[in-house]
Structure 1
Amino acid sequence: MKCYISGKISGLLSEQVTAKFRQAEQQIRAFGHEPVNPLDNGVDKEASWNEHFVADVALLLECDAIYLLKDWEASKGARIEATIAEECGLEIIFQPQYAIF
């Protein structure tokens, strides 16, 4: 199952974002699924939020599930992605509370 990772990115340090999304990839692989990381969306890091969001939604729509990180509700983009996933019938998976970062 392809599983899109969704969580807060804006306003955080690049290193912090990279670490938590890479950890989420490991968690998804441990569950036996294929992670889809929006940090690897092919869009230049300096591109606008809108450009990233369009690419991210395209990735999401190719997935079977969305993996919502613990901080997803603090992100406008993640909240929208969660709504899209729900409306499209994707499986919703919440990051376990014991995940560290």
Structure 2
Amino acid sequence: MDDRAVDAGALVAEVEGHLLIEATLGDGRLAATRFARQFGWLTDGQRAALEERFVEEYVALARDSWRRTALRGAELRGEYEGVYRGLRRRLVLAVALGMAALVSAAGLLVLSLAR
């Protein structure tokens, strides 16, 4: 092993990615077997080729879906972060104005009591 630091988050994400792909391959193989079963006239070689092609398409469709989901997630994150920054800015401004009003009211009270 080398002395480089291990990024636990990246390692977990990589393992999750491998597990997701393996699960998708398993799902694709199961779906391919069910699909090919309806074509009883296929030879074993043809059935195997059909199942292999089906799994390739199944995984490709899953990957495209994951990419679209990730892109949309990034878009939504950007939108929500912008809204959050605006809300936070307004909240800080409201608190600052409230504190200024409170300090002003306290100052006026002190001045009126000092007379």
TM-score w.r.t. structure 2 length? Answer: 0.25
Instruction: State the structure with more CA Rg.
Output: 2
Q: Larger strand proportion, structure 1 or 2?
A: 1
Q: Which has the higher contact order (CA 8 A, sep 6+)?
A: 1
